[in-house]
Structure 1
């Protein structure tokens, strides 16, 4: 194969990527075609073995293509490959620094360490893009927050060449797709974005893409949203300042969206700031009718949106416009018309129709529309998600499981979907698969206490006792309490009976860890008798068991009204008997060094028995006569025994 063959295939690949980017929805047909082309390109990488910079660029572009479809695992594969070829190492670390102008205490901040393999030759950013005019990086005009984190310690940071800047940018884009959307993720992305923006020279598309990502992240914070808007305005208004050659350099590797998408982002920022009319003006220019509906709804002029969309239909009717008219008027006939207009080929028509029914909680009715939509276009992740939820709500387990499986294949980093898939599997009686789904959910949300409760129950049912222990500790971390006695009873029973766990291992080996767990739980719940009873069952010696059971007795009788009910009376009598028996046994087994402690325990047990006998005799319940006589007999035996050893 010649370099020319690779070049032709590469540009064919780019044409397919451009085709996909021009569409509003991801296309399963285009994705299948791209998969074939990517396989061929990967096999031809050796043709440009003598041109490693081209190899790196090709891997980057393939990763960008996979990002369009949310295929994060394949993206990571080619990202890692490109990094290895470039000899680039990126690592987040913590060093001391300040975020605010008046911060007195220096605390650890996230920073990015970057290293380049010195044995690999590469042009500097100055050499490759020294003449490129880059858009300005606006300073943060805030009276409290610093524009950039001020580090008080040095960190190893290489001067990144242009292609390595794109690799850093691609890492940001990959993390956005693959990680849960939360404040922690934003903090992790900040050092990567700073590494792309800090070099004075680089490719123009790289700088613009990085600035737009920062704008999107800063739009959600009151101290940075103003800079986000001004920065976005600068990019939108100055896009023609750079030459076309400058704007096209490394364009395919950056994943930079077309200019109209930047303007849409600016309009989104206006809307976020409450500038609804300014946002509406931009949306109207871009003919983004869905966003126009949002703005008119916010302005309480929803009828105006319907009028504008109807005008557009009169000029040039399309499936999308009919669907949006349905959204604006809540008229289901519009979706029917869109479906007919498409000759029964539009996934959008069925999606909007299904969404309308879903939003009105007509879950049974929306299912066939969602199913038809994904039958036409199978890579609509949001439709799969809604289909899974709708089927879950009407207990259609088979459809729900299929939908959630497909969604987690397309978007594997959503913990709610994994959690719901586990719920479906439980209802199908497939708890092993439910367990595996919950383990995936934990990867993406380790701090959700409801998720951990599900993990506890399913892990207990499937014999994953170590995960039960881990779950109890995690719930204690998150809620500072844990009172699920039923789970603890099952766990103790499994350990004491030496039941085999899910992997066929002995459960008795976990006794030390279970004891540590009970130690932690009882330090929080000091008066829970059920917990102390279970803790007593696990005790290594009769003395410790008796001491813990005595605490259970105290917890059970602390209210003082236990003797008013024959059932609770019976329970306390049995507990007192157990305390006396264990205490006597502990004294009989005691070594020389433990005799004093055993004597004290036996004395406390005797007083406990005496108190129970007196309280129960006052009530004179017929139901407790038999067990009371047994307690009296045991009490007499213990008294005689104490006389004999004193």
Structure 2
């Protein structure tokens, strides 16, 4: 029924736009506005808040039927996303019909202009920008990174950068509608969004280039240096603290942005109250200061010549776009640096620089806080404070203030998690703190069955998890996630096969599970077949190509093993084991030069490699 409904809707949209005449641009613009409204409604309930109770269906004539089978429509929407990405959703999302509808409208509007059936495509240049935001949000809803969405984002962002990547393009497009300096802010925002996309998919170098361009366009320059100061209440001797110094090289703050400053100010005040950052409870949870206290005068600091070392004020007032640029550096550090305590300390100056700002947009404050929570939750001295901050942060999303209009600015320029992802992170923090009972309630509400099973296993109550999943299957027998979770907890391949059946053979997770099961019982040919099928659905799954190569190697299919390990090192050049196995395949195929190169790469990351014979090295060097 759902599939048929959207097919009919697509035909009706074509009929609405036909015939292509002088009124077509106006009709297309109307569809575009409806699409933006539907997309922002979904964004409000699933990303920025505040959560509002709105009809689950974006069509008036369907709202009377909501109580009758609406859950089936939502299951269809989830399966629709899975069919296009091969990945499950990351939790329970509301208003899924809205994003399906918005994507249909954006795609329809974009296509009729690209086909040249109406004039004045420049009238809706931002269609590519809004569609890229929607596709990126769709990726953020998915449990795994998917190649299909990445390819779409590459095309859409190329079009967006072509239209809005330079100040002169924006000024010629919007002309007198722009306030002073807004063109630079828009260029910076577009490059921030492009950098976030590349960062999500692990293309760190390209992401850094976009962030550098965003920094330049925002009129911001900054550097990290050392300043004497103390970080705890009981610290006596001042030590060097890493501090970020920012400077605006263009008077971007004079940007006739009175409305922007008013919005930023009100959102900041409301956001600070809701987040509870100024509460004594937060500050007393640890003797570690939120921001290091720097020495105030030259006498205390010593005789250094640098003003920074002499305790001068290190903070200046920054615009929201500049704060977003600063926080974007944390994304680079997360991807580039090793995941350890030092990584969080590298991010600290950027987090503290934004924390020190008197005015910030609500969403920027939230992003800054989640970065701080991840940092402080990794340290025993601040873990309790991190838990309190996370609790306040989750509560603030559901508060009625700030309003949606005060939360949406810059929400696409920072990588703040979706509400289900935020709550999942909260649940995982509760588990690490030993509060498994509270975490269970969150995971069950979000329908995160794998996390739920993990918690019940920690409590030694696996049978309860099985009964819970079976009860949900009685209500939703066509949900492949439930069948896969049941297969995980029971180690029964029949449930994975059922997941494939109800998903019309589109569940990549079920295929991967069957591939692992076949490999473990020694059926390497079957494992290879399932891995090939799974990677065809989602070629960006971590370690998927390595697993395919391993299964093919066991099955003595050297060509497929070579392909698998080559793709593995392309996606992760630091995978020493993949380089080692690739070298072994080259040895078997008598490709000594390629084997030597692969072993050389493997030795950069692994000290123990497959032991080749001495004659092998002799043959290479001869």
Verify same fold: TM over 0.5: yes
Could you tell me which residue of structure 1 aligns to residue 99 of structure 2? none
Could you tell me which residue of structure 1 aligns to residue 106 of structure 2? none
Q: 1:43 aligns with which of 156, 162, 170?
A: 162
Matched, 1:264 2:424: yes
* Cα distance change, pair 210–119 in 1 and its aligned pair in 2 (3 A): closer
Q: Confirm or deny: 8 A CA contact 2:285 2:385 kept in the other structure.
A: no
CA drift of 1:5 comes to 2.7
Could you tell me which residue of structure 1 aligns to residue 265 of structure 2? 130
Q: Confirm or deny: 8 A CA contact 1:303 1:328 kept in the other structure.
A: no
Structure exhibiting the larger radius of gyration computed from Cα positions = 1
CA drift of 1:213 comes to 2.2
Could you tell me which residue of structure 2 aligns to residue 339 of structure 1? 500
Q: Confirm or deny: 8 A CA contact 2:220 2:250 kept in the other structure.
A: no
Q: Confirm or deny: 8 A CA contact 1:137 1:197 kept in the other structure.
A: no
In 1: Cα distance, 2:517 partner to 2:145 partner: 21
Could you tell me which residue of structure 2 aligns to residue 60 of structure 1? 192
In 2: Cα distance, 1:71 partner to 1:161 partner: 27
Q: Deviations over 1:258-304 (max 9, x none)?
A: 22222111111111111111111110111111111101111111121
CA drift of 1:341 comes to 2.6
Could you tell me which residue of structure 2 aligns to residue 5 of structure 1? 124
Q: Confirm or deny: 8 A CA contact 1:101 1:144 kept in the other structure.
A: yes
Q: How many residues align?
A: 458
Matched, 1:381 2:539: no
Q: Confirm or deny: 8 A CA contact 1:63 1:78 kept in the other structure.
A: yes
Matched, 1:242 2:402: yes
Matched, 1:328 2:489: yes
Q: Show structure 1 runs of 5+ residues with no match.
A: 464-498, 500-646
Could you tell me which residue of structure 1 aligns to residue 374 of structure 2? 216
Matched, 1:349 2:510: yes
Query: What pairs with 1:58-137 in structure 2 (closer than 5 Å)?
Result: 58-103=190-235, 106-118=238-250, 123=255, 126=261, 129-132=264-267, 133-134=270-271, 135-137=275-277
In 2: Cα distance, 1:90 partner to 1:296 partner: 48
Q: Show structure 2 runs of 5+ residues with no match.
A: 1-119, 173-182, 296-308
**108-117 or 152-161: bigger deviation:** 152-161
Length-normalised TM-score, structure 1: 0.63
In 2: Cα distance, 1:90 partner to 1:461 partner: 54
CA drift of 1:77 comes to 2.5
Q: Confirm or deny: 8 A CA contact 2:562 2:585 kept in the other structure.
A: yes
Q: Deviations over 1:24-66 (max 9, x none)?
A: 3333222222211111112112421571111111111122223
Matched, 1:301 2:456: no
In 1: Cα distance, 2:142 partner to 2:435 partner: 29
In 2: Cα distance, 1:381 partner to 1:141 partner: 41
* Cα distance change, pair 169–4 in 1 and its aligned pair in 2 (3 A): farther
* Cα distance change, pair 10–322 in 1 and its aligned pair in 2 (3 A): same
In 2: Cα distance, 1:26 partner to 1:349 partner: 16
In 1: Cα distance, 2:602 partner to 2:121 partner: 47
Query: What pairs with 1:272-311 in structure 2 (closer than 5 Å)?
Result: 272-311=432-471
Q: Confirm or deny: 8 A CA contact 2:317 2:358 kept in the other structure.
A: no
Q: 2:328 aligns with which of 166, 170, 174?
A: 170
In 2: Cα distance, 1:442 partner to 1:142 partner: 46
CA drift of 1:379 comes to 1.8
* Cα distance change, pair 357–147 in 1 and its aligned pair in 2 (3 A): farther
Which protein has greater RCO, CA pairs closer than 8 Å, 6+ apart?
2
In 2: Cα distance, 1:459 partner to 1:438 partner: 11
In 2: Cα distance, 1:228 partner to 1:66 partner: 29
In 1: Cα distance, 2:565 partner to 2:249 partner: 43
In 2: Cα distance, 1:95 partner to 1:425 partner: 53
CA drift of 1:352 comes to 2.4
**392-401 or 247-256: bigger deviation:** 392-401
**RMSD in angstroms over aligned alpha carbons?**
3.6
Q: Deviations over 1:434-454 (max 9, x none)?
A: 6766787798x7xx7659x99
In 2: Cα distance, 1:436 partner to 1:365 partner: 31
Q: Confirm or deny: 8 A CA contact 2:586 2:592 kept in the other structure.
A: yes
Could you tell me which residue of structure 2 aligns to residue 149 of structure 1? 292
* Cα distance change, pair 87–283 in 1 and its aligned pair in 2 (3 A): same
Q: 1:184 aligns with which of 317, 326, 342?
A: 342
**398-407 or 420-429: bigger deviation:** 420-429
Could you tell me which residue of structure 1 aligns to residue 413 of structure 2? 253
Q: Deviations over 1:172-197 (max 9, x none)?
A: 12321333212221110111111222
Could you tell me which residue of structure 1 aligns to residue 360 of structure 2? 202
In 2: Cα distance, 1:199 partner to 1:225 partner: 24
Equivalent position SS for 2:126: helix
Q: Confirm or deny: 8 A CA contact 1:179 1:413 kept in the other structure.
A: no
